[in-house]
């Protein structure tokens, strides 16, 4: 999905943990820009602007323009090919930006969205299991779908839908997977739970068997002593 967004990239001021830490403190993140037969470029961009694109409806498949430092030509059309997030703080750490030619097909991953509530869930008490959450597709950049939809409303327990049931423009988009692969299905709920072990009763007047002593495995250092 093409958006009328232009982000300016700044030159990287050194490499290593120190310069990168200072860069992030200023609200910037390091990026690697590559593709289209051009040299790879290391630069810095606004973390807030990249995060805003990732949070949009088209997410990492958003096509936007990137103005490179010291470039005399037009801004490049790019897409976020990969990115890293701090698992603790949830902030962006790094992004890879891929240059795109609007006249050449490219490959991207597109998310799958289910439509409707299955009969097998609503009436029969089943559980909808989504086996595929995204698929790789090939198409022109301007034809990248926002998502791939599949209708699950008529599914009963034991029914499923496959890639062949996905809704998308087959003349413009090629899904790179077997059309017989299952996307989602309705499973029966587990009706029988595993029985909880019950301690054996001790006949009246008899002593309970002594508990076995706990075995403590000694470490290597302790054995050597």
- Domain boundaries in the chain? 2-100, 107-187
CATH T-level assignment (fold) for domain 107-187: RNA Polymerase Alpha Subunit; Chain A, domain 2 (2.170.120)
CATH 3.80.30.20 given to domain 2-100: no
User: Mind listing the pLDDT tens digit for each residue in 105-162?
Assistant: 999 999 999 999 999 999 999 999 999 999 999 999 999 999 999 999 999 999 999 9
DSSP letter at 165 equals: G
Q: Which residue has the higher pLDDT, 4 or 103?
A: 103
Distance from C-alpha of 65 to C-alpha of 96, rounded to nearest angstrom:
14
This prediction has a pTM of 0.72
- pLDDT tens-digit series, residues 35-51: 988 889 899 999 999 99
The band of 74, judged by pLDDT with boundaries at 50, 70 and 90, is confident
Phi, psi of 89 (to 5 degrees): -90, -20
């Amino acid at each position: 999905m093409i958006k009328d967004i232009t982000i300016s990239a700044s030159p990287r001021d050194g490499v290593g943990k120190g310069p990168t830490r200072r860069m992030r403190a200023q609200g910037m993140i390091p990026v690697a820009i590559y593709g289209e037969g051009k040299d790879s470029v290391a630069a810095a961009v606004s973390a807030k602007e990249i995060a805003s694109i990732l949070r949009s409806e088209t997410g990492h498949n958003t096509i936007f323009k990137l103005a490179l430092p010291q470039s005399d030509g037009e801004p490049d059309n790019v897409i976020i090919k990969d990115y890293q997030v701090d698992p603790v703080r949830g902030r962006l750490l790094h992004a890879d930006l891929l240059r795109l030619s609007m006249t050449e097909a490219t490959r991207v991953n597109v998310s799958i969205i289910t439509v409707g509530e299955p009969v097998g869930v609503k009436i029969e008490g089943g559980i909808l299991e989504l086996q595929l959450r995204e698929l790789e597709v090939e198409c022109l950049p301007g034809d990248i779908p926002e998502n791939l939809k599949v209708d699950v409303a008529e599914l009963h327990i034991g029914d499923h839908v496959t890639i062949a049931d996905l809704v998308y423009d087959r003349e413009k988009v090629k899904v790179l997977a077997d059309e017989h692969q299952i996307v989602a299905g309705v499973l029966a709920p587990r009706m029988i739970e595993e029985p909880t072990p019950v301690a054996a009763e001790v006949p009246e007047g008899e002593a309970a068997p002594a508990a076995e002593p706990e075995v403590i495995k000694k470490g290597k250092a302790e054995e050597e002593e």
